[in-house]
Chain A
Amino acid sequence: DAMVIQNPRYQVTQFGKPVTLSCSQTLNHNVMYWYQQKSSQAPKLLFHYYDKDFNNEADTPDNFQSRRPNTSFCFLDIRSPGLGDAAMYLCATSRDIGQPQHFGDGTRLSIL
């Protein structure tokens, strides 16, 4: 059974048109993460939530925002996607800070 679920699996949007990616978890983990992964590159951490506390990585563009309305759900909002934002976006969870992460299958975002 899938424990970290990302929707949609594939998303196409237009240049500059806001888009929201969704992640849900059944693990009841405290920490949820968003990563960006481009082809043949390591996943790059964008931000994470520890419970309701939001932690932004220093080099995450302002264009990227996140919401976590409850323990189970977390959203990634890209306000004005540029061509360089085309990538796989991975959601991950961990039981607590510093614990190994469990990943979803990702959303592949294409920008037209």
Chain B
Amino acid sequence: QKEVEQDPGPLSVPEGAIVSLNCTYSNSAFQYFMWYRQYSRKGPELLMYTYSSGNKEDGRFTAQVDKSSKYISLFIRDSQPSDSATYLCAMKKGNTGNQFYFGTGTSLTVIP
């Protein structure tokens, strides 16, 4: 079993829709959770960085962590065509150490 599982999609939604992207993980030691956005032919760009359980909001983006279910989500409100990209989740166990565990990414297309 992979440490981090992410549905690759592709996911297509109409402009203005609420998008929900999800990752599950198997290791309860994960404490730090990240979401990256990766446009085609570009490097990943950090969108959200959260610690432990709870919600974090930044503009149209909300990151949600449910440690009891080992499940994290990224919600995008009022989705725009410019949100079309691959979204990667990543997580790590503690504040030290450089082992980041990435999901394989979910491809999202927002249709005008």
What is the interface of chain A, defined by CB distance below 8 A to chain B?
A: 4, 6, 31, 33, 40-43, 45, 48, 50, 55, 90, 92, 94, 97-98, 100-106, 108
Contact of B42 among A55, A97, A106 (CB under 8 A): A106
Shortest A104–chain B CB gap in Å is: 5
Query: B100 to chain A: which residues have CB within 8 Å?
Result: 45, 101
Residue of B whose beta carbon sits closest to that of A33: B98
Question: Looking at chain B, what size class is its interface with the partner chain?
Answer: 20 to 34
SS class, residues of chain A in contact with chain B: strand
> Among B41, B49, B99, which residue has the most Cβ atoms of chain A within 10 A?
B41
**Which B-chain residue is minimally distant from A102 (CB atoms)?**
B46
Quote the shortest CB–CB distance from A94 to chain B (angstroms). Answer: 8
CA distance A33 to B43 in the complex (A): 13
Report Cα–Cα, A33/B32, bound state, in Å. Answer: 19
CA distance A96 to B90 in the complex (A): 17
Q: Are B41 and A97 in contact (CB under 8 A)?
A: no
